[in-house]
Structure 1
Amino acid sequence: MKLFVVVVIVLFAAGLTWGIVALVRRQRYIDSLRQRGWSFVNSPTFDAVARLNNPPFGLGFVRKPDDQITGLTAQGRPFQVIEYSTSHWSGWVGMVTLSRRLPELWITGGDTRPRYGVLAHAVPAPPQLGPGWQVGALEPDFAAELMNPQVCSQLSAMAAGLPGLNVGIDSDQLVVLNPPREKPDLLAAWLEQLGAVAMAIDAAPLDRWIQPEPQPRLTFYHHPDWYWIGVDDSLLEFTPVNRGGHAHSTSEVIRGRDGDGPPFVAFTHHWKTTRTESYTDSEGRTQTRTVTENHSEPILGFQLPIRMPRLEVGRKGFGGGISFESEAFNRQFAVHSPDVKFAYDVIHPRQMQYLMANPPASFTIEEEWAWFSPGEHSQPAIAGCSAFVRGFLARVPRFVWRNLGLPDSPYPAPEISPVP
């Protein structure tokens, strides 16, 4: 027993000593940053990354900015080095400011893999960069104009000191993963190299590619009209949440829309239930105790341009439902509506063809909303339902919208080949 106590005391003392040493080192590191005229923030707000949209930013609901270093390079160019984590990536990111807001572009060297979640077209890397480089862009012509000899020369010089270079343009920021932030002297030299790349990009004739000013809010990659709210418990008043239990709340609230599709709201609903149960204690006596359980469910709804009759569409296990002329559709889907004529008008042959080719999560149209059961609250689930509902509404016949009170269909009809 005495030996155990001694071991515990030694381990505690060692842990305390290590903690003190780490704290002193951290403070010395912060002091060395401030001596350079840089600023250090231990817990930055989301404002630090609100305008950044490309991976690792702009993905998912778990986003955490941490230690932040800001300042100016020797040439007076603003920079930021920040620790950042998501569900898919965590590490440090360094960036300097460009003179213009430019389209998305990705450059990786040293056989580095592209960042998680990137959506871009691979374009040929300039021969000046040598083997092992990859370039990706949504606008190949932009990439060709940007990757001039001066930019390639600066990238090659930077990669020589930092193998595995991973560079991206995010609006007016030139962003690089994994800067050498441990030693301020190395970081300062690295920032000057990054500033030299930015200067070469600024010198290129790229004004025709200038992008509009983004709104200063937390957004989502390739979904510029989605935005993060976080908590909005007023949604519980009108959304189809589970009404049982108590302590109802919302989290991860997102609003937005995709193009000319209907606006949506998506969030996680939390609540608790409490019950009393009996049990037998160690002495054989019957006792009671209160058990509280936590519950959650994803909620996703799209706001319609006008009130519509109730219409439920789900997989066949959803119930028998209305019978349609397509047996293949009847085997796959169940449709319920108190207004059978409305159901037949909306679920016509081309609509059935669309549903079978793009099986959605079960959904219910109820007055001015289409509520989905996505199974999870995630960026891909929202995007998938958003794309589906836009196509579904575009296939609602024009006369249906007119019967509901609109002058015409609010959604342009897609190009549809004749049904065989």
Structure 2
Amino acid sequence: MSGTALTVVLVIGVLVAAGITWGIVALVRRQQYIKSLRERGWTFVNSPQLDAVARLSNPPFGLGFRRDPDDQITGHTASGRPFQVIEYKSENWKGWVAMVSLSRRLPELWVMGGEARPRYGVEAAKMQSPGALGPAWQIGALVPSYAAEVLTPQVCNQLNGLAGGLPGLNLGIDSDQLTVLDPPRKDVDQLGPWLEQLAAVADAIDATPLDHRIQPEQPPRFSFYHHPDWHLIGVDDSLLHVTPTNRGGHNHRTEDVIRGRDGDGPPFVAFTHHWQTTRTETSTDSEGRTTTRTVTENHSEAILGFQLPVRMPELTVAGRSFGRGISFESERFNDQFKVTSPSTKFAYDVIHPRQMEYLMATSPAPFRVVEDWVWFAPGDHSQVSIAHNSRFLREFLAGVPRFVWRDLGLAESPYPPLDTVAVPGGR
């Protein structure tokens, strides 16, 4: 063996030994850490179930389809208040969250101090910080008067104390949980007193007259932020037989199945459909020898459908493409959209001038009415896409004239006009 080769072998051996040593040290430290938790009477779970965070719906929870809890610490504070410190990973965030229980289910509220940055995905109005906290704090809520009710001088005093040990306090109310990002969980001797301070904040909130703000209890299911009637199912391959999925290929399966509705809008089902196709390729080399190989390709498509209360004639609305559809009085609309239907009268009744203006203003994804379903071609399966198309369709259906619904057998329109035609989450 040459000197260079020997040197390489020695270096590799040193690195392997160092890696093994580091792994042993890390394992010992982890076991010592877990032991110190249990000595306090706390419970440590290496792989908690998703149920540990399923009822939480405010960021970082309630967003996306990837929701993975990891190490979990649970126990009770000195006053008997349940707490949880858990590692959590989603599509847009990874870190640790601490939480203690409140006595009531309350609306969302966001309180950030120091170097804290707003949580990803939060939709709340910013408002002035109360004097007891000071101008360096950021406050967010959907209803300003609610924030003022919660942030009493007593609550603010406890928040100031809790923030003293952190570079930036990022606190929120999520139903009956008071949550904080990035707690001081590495040092158990520091974590214990800090959890007591967090419990003191919860005590102060519980002592505040907020019974008129109590929120209804939600079903125990995996919910979504600002969409309480959505729920994540995961897999439901029975949908492959009743939805307009691609029927070619093999190994068909569903992923990230969601069911739900927004307010009084039509209920929907949404998921990603995966499948494979296989083909045989034959090639001949320069010497005339033939070889054959099998190539398998993976495919996926986003499926999104909304169920109507009554069957409708078929109607397709898509972007302009080759060929012409039904001609409408607006050339600008005809240049932007292609509308097809076996019933021209139905198309004219539904796509009236105001509906044309709405379609041109919103530029929706292509959609097709088939019996009592509206199927979209959303392009991607995401929370934003579902919300956008749900809001669009609700407005579109509100624009269908009353006489059309009556002709279809309904006494009145099932979708009265909304206050605004804005489409949140627009793309």
Q: AA paired with 1:193? A: Q
Q: Are the counterparts in 2 of residues 111 and 132 from structure 1 also a CA contact under 8 Å?
A: no
Q: Are the counterparts in 2 of residues 345 and 400 from structure 1 also a CA contact under 8 Å?
A: yes
Q: Is the aligned partner of 1:363 residue 2:400?
A: no
Secondary structure of the corresponding residue to residue 335 of structure 2: helix
> Measured at CA, do residues 2 and 147 of structure 1 come closer, stay the same or move farther in structure 2, by a change above 3 Å?
same
Of the three residues 66, 78, 85, the one matched with 1:81 is 85
TM-score when scaled to structure 2?
A: 0.95
Q: Is the aligned partner of 1:378 residue 2:382?
A: yes
Instruction: Tell me the equivalent position of 1:261.
Output: 265
Q: Are the counterparts in 2 of residues 395 and 414 from structure 1 also a CA contact under 8 Å?
A: no
Q: Are the counterparts in 2 of residues 318 and 334 from structure 1 also a CA contact under 8 Å?
A: no
Q: Are the counterparts in 1 of residues 313 and 369 from structure 2 also a CA contact under 8 Å?
A: yes
Q: AA paired with 1:92? A: W
TM-score when scaled to structure 1?
A: 0.97
Deviation at 1:10, TM superposition (A): 2.2
> Measured at CA, do residues 374 and 162 of structure 1 come closer, stay the same or move farther in structure 2, by a change above 3 Å?
same
Q: Is the aligned partner of 1:141 residue 2:114?
A: no
Deviation at 1:415, TM superposition (A): 6.1
Task: Compute the RMSD of aligned alpha carbons.
Answer: 1.5
Secondary structure of the corresponding residue to residue 165 of structure 1: strand
Q: Are the counterparts in 2 of residues 111 and 133 from structure 1 also a CA contact under 8 Å?
A: no
Q: AA paired with 1:139? A: V
Instruction: Tell me the equivalent position of 2:315.
Output: 311
Per-residue CA shift, 1:350-390, capped at 9, x if unaligned?
11111111110000000111000111000110000000000
Instruction: Tell me the equivalent position of 2:177.
Output: 173
Q: AA paired with 2:374? A: A
Identify unmatched segments of 5+ residues in structure 2: 422-427
Q: Are the counterparts in 2 of residues 41 and 69 from structure 1 also a CA contact under 8 Å?
A: yes
Q: Is the aligned partner of 1:24 residue 2:60?
A: no
Deviates more, 1:207-216 or 1:277-286: 277-286
Q: AA paired with 1:162? A: L
Q: Is the aligned partner of 1:130 residue 2:134?
A: yes
Distance 1:413 1:162 in 2: 48
Instruction: Tell me the equivalent position of 2:406.
Output: 402
> Measured at CA, do residues 282 and 98 of structure 1 come closer, stay the same or move farther in structure 2, by a change above 3 Å?
farther
Q: Are the counterparts in 1 of residues 278 and 294 from structure 2 also a CA contact under 8 Å?
A: yes
Matches within 5 A, 1:68-107: 68-107=72-111
Of the three residues 3, 10, 34, the one matched with 2:14 is 10
Instruction: Tell me the equivalent position of 2:424.
Output: none
Deviates more, 1:284-293 or 1:49-58: 284-293
Distance 1:392 1:208 in 2: 36
Q: Are the counterparts in 2 of residues 123 and 136 from structure 1 also a CA contact under 8 Å?
A: yes
Q: Are the counterparts in 1 of residues 115 and 167 from structure 2 also a CA contact under 8 Å?
A: no
Deviates more, 1:125-134 or 1:148-157: 125-134
The alignment covers a number of residue pairs equal to: 417
> Measured at CA, do residues 319 and 59 of structure 1 come closer, stay the same or move farther in structure 2, by a change above 3 Å?
farther
Deviation at 1:412, TM superposition (A): 0.8
Secondary structure of the corresponding residue to residue 61 of structure 2: coil
Secondary structure of the corresponding residue to residue 412 of structure 2: coil
Instruction: Tell me the equivalent position of 2:295.
Output: 291
> Measured at CA, do residues 309 and 298 of structure 1 come closer, stay the same or move farther in structure 2, by a change above 3 Å?
same
Per-residue CA shift, 1:92-133, capped at 9, x if unaligned?
000000111111100000142211111111121111112310
Deviates more, 1:398-407 or 1:4-13: 4-13
Q: Is the aligned partner of 1:327 residue 2:314?
A: no
Per-residue CA shift, 1:291-348, capped at 9, x if unaligned?
1111101000001111111100011126410000111111111100011111111111
Q: Is the aligned partner of 1:210 residue 2:214?
A: yes
Identify unmatched segments of 5+ residues in structure 1: none
Distance 2:316 2:239 in 1: 22
Distance 2:420 2:177 in 1: 41
Q: Which runs of 4+ in 1 moved over 6 A?
A: 281-284
Q: Are the counterparts in 2 of residues 93 and 179 from structure 1 also a CA contact under 8 Å?
A: yes
Q: Are the counterparts in 1 of residues 113 and 170 from structure 2 also a CA contact under 8 Å?
A: yes
Matches within 5 A, 1:273-284: 273-280=277-284
Instruction: Tell me the equivalent position of 1:344.
Output: 348
Distance 2:172 2:132 in 1: 19
> Measured at CA, do residues 350 and 416 of structure 1 come closer, stay the same or move farther in structure 2, by a change above 3 Å?
farther
Instruction: Tell me the equivalent position of 2:188.
Output: 184
